[in-house]
Every structure is written in structure tokens, then in C-alpha cells.
Amino acid sequence: MVQTSEFVRQQIEAMKSEVFELGLFRLPAPADGRDAGMLPRAWDSETLLRSIAWLRLENMRGRNIYIRPQGEHHLSLVDDLSKSAIERMKAEGFQPAAIVETSPRNFQAWLNHGKRLPSDIGTAIARALASRFEGDTKAADWRHFGRLAGFTNQKEKHRQSNGMFPFVRLIESTGEVYREAGKLVANVREQCEREQDARKKRDAAFASALVASGADKSIESFRQNPVYGGDGTRVDLAYALYALSRGASAEDVGAAIRSRDLSHKGTERRQEDYVERTIRKALALQHSQARGR
């Protein structure tokens, strides 16, 4: 209990967030009928430290304990790193603020950029870091959970010969901003701006071509068009631009977008936010085109 408390204290001090989101995730266990599930919590450091006994109990009951800062933040998590990758990070000026060994010889690193980043920039940086240091690019985004040290990794594949699970260990917790932070953030921000400008130009050109064609198209015809490569987000925006330019109402466009499964976007509220953002973006591009004529 004392060692777990110390690991937790050192890790959250290194992560330097006012509020943390905890995720207590249990994998399905068909043998005893348990379903998978996530227990979410949002706590400040003091509350988290007071709750360690309860977290240990839930961990013993089969839940993995995860943590991340709440809201947009100043950190990036790089998952599934080798020891040699950690050493290379340090040598190249990407010293982690915290290093956690999640299972034997497998590591996660939190990097401190020194300032809060917008979610799109945070995701782009996380992906760049994961790619550069051979981490898990699928787990690279601005709000991915990392493991909290001091608790056991309850994945069945890590069960030891004695039936126990390995502890998640805190290896380092300096909290420092890595040396290359300013350079990396500036480069990624510039790249994101270039890509955003290019997307706007492509979207505007495509919308103009659709309007000029005068053809009536359903959202299904957009979904089946190979030019989008099955990218539902691009399809939704292209259709919204097309339909709005031909006099469709925002309600009708929203209904068309919702005709596909949006559950991967999250809760119903997040799904609605996505639909509304898509329509707002289409309206803004339509307005921009009108001014340019």
C-alpha cells in the first residue's frame, strides 16, 4: 500500500495536471460471466491519493487502472516502447517526463511539451512521436489513457506462472520538458496548418464541381465513390457541401449523415456534436466560396 501510494504520487506530480481522469477497465471474463466495462472518475491529486485503497480493491477484482489529464493538456503518451527506444528518445532530446513499465520490458512514456496543446495538434504530435520511436501509432492521440503505476496489469497474457499479474512500475518521473519540445511543436503545427489549407482547397474545389454538374446525388452515391477511400468523415463533409449548395436544409443534411453508424464517435452527445460540426464547416466553406465569386 505504501509503495503503491508513492508510485502514484510521483507519477501524478510528474504529469502536472490539476484534474485527472481515471479509467478502471475490466476485460470480459466469460468464465465468471463478467462483462467488460469502464468505471470513469475525474479527480484532483488529493482525491486520487485518498482513493488508492479503493483503486487497489478494484484492481484486485480485475480492473486495470488507467490515467490521463482532463481536457486539453501539455502531455503526449507514447505507448508500447522498448528499452532501446526509451534510450534513443533521451539521446535525441525527447526526455520523457515519466516512464512507466506496463509489463516486463514494455514501456509507456509521457512527454511534457511545456504548454497546453489543442487536441488536433496534440494528436498529430503523439502520432509523430509514436512513428519516430516505433511505438503504437494506433494508440497515439491527444487523450489516450496510460497506465497508473503501482497497480497490476490484469491482461490475461501477462499472468505469471504463480497465477499473479505483474505490477506496473514507475521507472522515472522527472516532470521535465524535453529539449526538442519547442522545435517539434512548431514543426507539427506548421504541417497541420498546411494540411488544413490543402483540405479546404480540395473541399472547395470539389463542392464547386458538384454544384456546376447540376446532378442530383444521394449520400449513398458519395459513400460508394472510390475517390473518398471509404473515409466517412470526408464523405459527410462533401455531401453536406453539395446538399446545402442545392438548397437542402441543415436538418435534412444532418439526417443523411446520421444514416450511417456513428457509434465510433462516442456517446450520442459526441455524435450530435460531430454532425453539427460537419454542417457548420460546410456552411463556412459555402460562404467562403460565395465571397470568392
Would you give the DSSP letter of residue 178? Answer: P
**Three cell numbers written together for 192:** 497541420
146-147 and 98-103 strand pairing: unpaired
Q: Is the pLDDT of residue 208 over 80?
A: no
What pLDDT is attached to residue 263? 84
Rounded average pLDDT over 130-141: 95
Indicate the burial class of 56 (C-beta count within 10 angstroms; 0-12, 13-18, 19 or more): middle
Binned at pLDDT 50, 70 and 90, residue 209 comes out as low
Across the chain, mean pLDDT equals: 90
Q: Is the pLDDT of residue 212 over 90?
A: no
Rounded average pLDDT over 41-69: 96
Rounded average pLDDT over 134-138: 95
Percent of all residues in the chain with a pLDDT value above 70, rounded to a whole number: 90
Rounded average pLDDT over 142-163: 94
Structural Rg of the chain based on CA atoms: 23
Rounded average pLDDT over 216-238: 88
CA torsion sign, 197 to 199 to 203 to 205? positive
What pLDDT is attached to residue 289? 65
Delineate the domains of the chain, giving CATH numbers in brackets: 2-178 (3.30.70.1790), 184-292 (1.10.1240.50)
CA atoms within 13 A on the CB side of 244: 26
pTM above 0.95, yes or no: no
Q: Is the pLDDT of residue 29 over 70?
A: no
Q: If DSSP codes are grouped into helix, strand and coil, which group holds residue 200?
A: helix
The pLDDT tens digits for 260-285 are 989 888 888 889 999 999 999 999 88
Q: Is the pLDDT of residue 32 over 70?
A: no
What pLDDT is attached to residue 4? 94
Q: Is the pLDDT of residue 286 over 90?
A: no
What pLDDT is attached to residue 207? 59
The pLDDT tens digits for 73-124 are 999 999 999 999 999 999 999 999 999 999 999 999 999 999 999 999 999 9
